Amino acid sequence: MVTIQTVRSNNAALKDLGPGLVAVFVGGTSGIGLSTARAFVKNTTAPRVYLVGRNQEEATKITQEFDKINPESKTTFVKADLSLLRNVDKACSEIQAREPKVNLLFMTAGYFTTKGREETAEGLDRKFSLHYYARWRFAQNLLPQLTAAGTSTPLSRVVSVLDPNIRTGLVLDDLSLKTHFTLGNCAAHACAFNDFAVETMAAANPNTAFVHAFPGLVNTGLARTFGPVLRVGVGILMTVLKPFMVPLPESGERHLYAATSQTYPPKAKAGEGAALGSDGVKGSGAYWLSWNGERMENERLKGYRAQALGKTVWAHTQEVFDKIRGTEGGKY
């Protein structure tokens, strides 16, 4: 376990990386994304922060707060409903028009739901799209800016926060879950696909590190879309589970560590102190981390890796991107 002292001394030293780090928080208007953005603004010199989400009102409050925490910082809100890939592309273009380099892409956009499949105009399930397709479309679009940061600065990293573990098998003949959607299948596919995405991206982009992190249980706005009865139930559950939860500010500090520590270097910069990557290779550039910075393993995923499922999933992802974004108004 990475101690909180180690986390704090890493974060306190981020000023040594120099001024002008650029971080994009996809889902930065609430919860773990916001708490990590806050820790980033506190610990860096003259950072430029992009918060991507839908909630303009929250974004305005956060911008005012960040201006006070660090008057040299600059926060920009990029308003976008990211459940559609066309909106992801638009948000990325806005950021790319301003920034030649991006040091950190931190992705938490998502939500809890008890509903079944909700098809978007692009033919994907809304939750699955937010937890996987939209996130990796973001990462793929911003690769030139991430690579520019990776070749000229000490920090280039992509972090996706969900859960590297899967508890059930995947539906291999329906990867997008068009006809096999259950909440369990959606969780397994989104988690496993994030796992494979960090491995595929890390192998192809040696100057950027890729992390898939599990946050533990954190009391955030995740249940805000529930009805009043379920919200009361969640409130009671949160009180009972409080001793086992990661406090939100600590979660932000720990995720900032996962997002910046040289323990998780890109493949091309792996030195002596590098952690084991997701495949067990030291400094592989792809890391599956638990809430406390420890490596996560999963026997079922090892089996899938041995079958080269990562390649299949990535090819599927490109096919989805091509179909939806290849033609205006496209659908998968």
Interacting residue ranges for ligand NAP, rule: CB under 6 A: 27-33, 53-55, 80-83, 108-111, 130-131, 161-163, 215, 217-218, 220-222
**Burial class for 139, CB neighbours closer than 10 Å (0-12, 13-18, 19+):** buried
Residue for token pair 């506190």: 42
Q: Which is nearer to ligand NAP, 150 or 293 (CB)?
A: 293
Nearest-approach distance from CB 228 to ligand NAP, in angstroms: 17
Find the shortest distance in angstroms from Cβ 112 to ligand NAP: 7
Return d(Cα 159, Cα 211) in angstroms, integer: 5
Q: Least CB distance from residue 20 to ligand NAP, whole Å?
A: 24
Question: How far apart (Å, rounded) are the C-alpha atoms in residues 87 and 153?
Answer: 29
Looking at the Cβ atoms of 29 and 207, the one nearer to ligand NAP is 29
| Amino acid (one-letter) located at 21 | L
| Nearest of 175, 32, 168, 19 to residue 107 by alpha carbon | 32
Nearest residue to 200 (alpha-carbon basis) of 132, 273, 123, 257:
132
Cβ of residue 295: shortest distance to ligand NAP, in angstroms?
Answer: 18
Beta strands in 69-143 (DSSP E): 74-79, 104-107
Residue type, 106: F
**Closer to ligand NAP at the Cβ: 241 or 315?**
241
Cβ within 8 Å of residue 185, ≥6 positions away: 168, 170, 171, 177
Q: Nearest distance from residue 279's CB to ligand NAP, in Å?
A: 23
Residue 268 C-beta: closest distance to ligand NAP, Å: 29
Nearer to ligand NAP, 139 or 162 (CB): 162
Closer of 83 and 200 to ligand NAP (Cβ): 83
Q: Which is nearer to ligand NAP, 33 or 266 (CB)?
A: 33
How far is the CA of 128 from the CAs of 53, 192, 224, 238, 319, in angstroms?
A: 17, 12, 18, 25, 16
Q: What's the closest the beta carbon of residue 85 comes to ligand NAP, in angstroms?
A: 12
Q: Which is nearer to ligand NAP, 23 or 149 (CB)?
A: 23
Determine phi and psi for 50, rounding to 5 degrees. -115, 125
Residue, CB closest to ligand NAP? 31
- For residue 230, the SS3 value is helix
